[in-house]
A = this chain, B = another copy of it.
Amino acid sequence: MLFSPVVEHLLESLRVLPGVGPKSAQRMALHLLERDRAGGERLVQALHEALERVGYCQRCRNLTEHEVCSLCEDARRESTSLCVVESPADLMAIEEAGGYRGRYFVLHGHLSPLDGIGPDALGLDLLEQEVRTHRYQEIVLATNPTVEGEATAHYIAEQLRPLGVTFSRLAYGVPLGGELEYVDGGTLSRAFSGRQPFQS
C-alpha cells in the first residue's frame, strides 16, 4: 500500500467508471485531491443527487428526476410516431443526429432469456399501454442491429400487431464517410439488397 487507505479506496472506487484502469484512476484521484477539490465536491454532489433522484419516466422509461420526462411533457413533439430504443444512450444519439421529432420508449436492454431478461424487465406492458392510449401511426423499432436487437424488435412487433399500427426499422447500409473495403460482408450485402434509385 503506497498511499493512505482512504486514497487507495478512492482509486479502487474510481474503477467502477467504464474505461478507467489503475493508471487513469490514479491520475483522476490525484487531479481531484491536488488541483481541483472544488470540482471534486461538485462531482460528489452531482453524482449523489443523480443516484438519489433520477429514475425512469413513468410513460417512456427515459431517465428523469420527474414522474414524466421532459420529452414526454413537450407538446411540440409529434405524437404520431414512437421510437423504441434499447438505452438512453441510443435516445441521445438519435436526438443529437436530429431529424426525428416524435416520441420515444426506452427498453433498458433487450430480450435475453438466458440472463432472465424477459418482456417484464423491458416494460413491454407499459409500451403496449402507451400504444393503446396514444394511437401512434408508426412505431420505429430502433433496437440495435444485433441478433438480440432483431429478436426484440420481432417480439415487440408480434405483441403489438393486433393494435393495428405500422412498424418500421432503421435502414441497413454502408455508413456515411466509410470506405467500402472496410465494410463487413453482412452490411455490404444488406446495402446491396436495399439499394435505392440514384437521384442525380
Contact = CB atoms under 8 A, between A and B. Distances in A.
Contacts of A33: 50-51, 54, 63, 88
A197 to B, nearest CB: 35
19 contacts: A3-B63, A3-B92, A4-B63, A6-B49, A6-B54, A7-B54, A7-B65, A10-B50, A13-B46, A13-B47, A16-B32, A16-B43, A17-B31, A19-B28, A29-B50, A32-B51, A40-B50, A44-B48, A44-B51
Contacts of A69: 4
Number of copies: 2
A97 to B, nearest CB: 12
Q: Which 7 A-B pairs give the minimum distances between C-beta atoms?
A: A16-B39, A13-B46, A10-B50, A6-B65, A13-B43, A10-B46, A4-B64
A43 B47 contact: yes
Nearest to A49: B6
Contacts of A64: 3-4, 7
Nearest to A93: B26
Contacts of A19: 24, 27-28
Contacts of A2: 91-92, 95-96
Contact of A63 (B7, B12, B88): B7
A87 interface: yes
